[in-house]
Amino acid sequence: MPIKRFLTKLTIITTVVGAPIAGGFLGKYLADASFNNKQKEIQNQERFNGVSDLMLNNGYNTPITIDVDKNKPINVSLFNFTDEERKDAINAINDLDEISENINYNILENNHSSVSQKITISKISKDQLELMSQNPLTLGYTSFQFSIKEAKIAFPVNIYINESVENIYDTNGVSLLSYVLKHEMMHSLGFKDMYTDDYLNKTVMYYQVSPAVDINDYTDFDKKNIKQVYDYSTTTLNEQYKNGNIKVEYPKFLQSFYETEKKYKKNIDEEFTL
């Protein structure tokens, strides 16, 4: 790795306030109860046992994830890369694809702006990236919106790579572009930067690249965490909730308030950049 130290940085840049609460105090109470029950259902999923502290959350300690389906690939567009860099980027993306049975990426040949489930990866100038991140040492930057209630990352996801990674290789011939992109792609799965030295040389999510960092690929620790979160085999409480198999019951005389609340309450969105 290069001698100069590099960082990636997490910043919350926007909060959008949700719709007003309907039904007065009682309506708010029911809305809060429904929201909190939803968070507990997601938090208690087996897939998050032991890994929730490694993940971004929605502010209510609920880990944020992205929807994956092995039969419905996530489309990826690559912009402003040389042919050599593009091959390097594709290899890095395929390395992640191969870890999980459920994660499936499809590299687009052209800019298909109307394609759903899309991640756009762009190489931009150092100055542009510094303006975005407010940090001159940032090599990678990931931006997305997510639903607070569902704790789900929404497409499109945007990843920006600093052009200064060009033609930088470690002693094993692995490019800095590959390392940075693998780090940012894990952000797009909901994993966060790890800032303590307990994670030095243990994960690609360690927050900096320096001579002390000796990682150029997903580690066994990374692979275990990715597979645990995205290859879970049991039907989660969240899925059961969506399918109507788990219902939140309220006394009948409160049902009209609850139905009114469901009708008017909307998800709150926040935007994360990493």
Q: For residue range 182-216, what is the model confidence (pLDDT) as tens digits? A: 999 999 999 999 999 899 889 999 988 876 666 77
The pLDDT score that the predictor gives to residue 133 is 87
Examine residue 1 and state whether it is found in any structural domain, yes or no: no
CATH number at 53 reads 3.40.390.10
Name the band, by pLDDT with cuts 50, 70 and 90, for residue 174: confident
Examine residue 252 and state whether it is found in any structural domain, yes or no: no
Instruction: Give the separation between CA 19 and CA 33, rounded to whole angstroms.
Output: 17
User: Does residue 20 surpass a pLDDT of 60?
Assistant: no
Is the pTM higher than 0.85?
no
Examine residue 194 and state whether it is found in any structural domain, yes or no: yes
The mean pLDDT of the chain is 78
Examine residue 81 and state whether it is found in any structural domain, yes or no: yes
Give me 241's structure tokens.
């909730």
Task: Report the pLDDT averaged over residues 45-60.
Answer: 93
Name the band, by pLDDT with cuts 50, 70 and 90, for residue 7: very low
User: Does residue 180 surpass a pLDDT of 50?
Assistant: yes
Instruction: List alpha helices for the chain, DSSP H.
Output: 24-43, 83-99, 126-133, 176-187, 220-230, 237-242, 255-264
Which residue did the predictor score with more confidence, 12 or 98? Answer: 98
- Closest C-alpha among 41, 48, 97 to residue 74: 97
Task: Report the pLDDT averaged over residues 24-34.
Answer: 63
Examine residue 52 and state whether it is found in any structural domain, yes or no: yes
Examine residue 126 and state whether it is found in any structural domain, yes or no: yes
**pLDDT > 70 fraction of the chain, expressed in percent and rounded:** 70
Examine residue 36 and state whether it is found in any structural domain, yes or no: yes
Name the band, by pLDDT with cuts 50, 70 and 90, for residue 271: low
CB atoms under 10 Å from CB of 29, counted, come to: 15
Rounded to 5°, the CA angle 124-145-9 comes to 50
Give me 239's structure tokens.
């899925």
Examine residue 58 and state whether it is found in any structural domain, yes or no: yes
230-264 per-position pLDDT tens digit: 998 644 444 544 555 444 443 333 344 444 444 44
How many structural domains compose the chain?
1
Instruction: Give the separation between CA 189 and CA 55, rounded to whole angstroms.
Output: 9
Instruction: Give the separation between CA 33 and CA 79, rounded to whole angstroms.
Output: 45
Q: Helix, strand, or coil here: 40?
A: helix
Give the dihedral of Cα atoms 11, 94, 215, 207; nearest 10 deg.
Answer: 0
Domain holding 123, by residue range, is 6-235
- Closest C-alpha among 52, 9, 8, 273 to residue 153: 273
Instruction: Give the separation between CA 109 and CA 233, rounded to whole angstroms.
Output: 33
- Closest C-alpha among 48, 35, 252, 263 to residue 148: 35
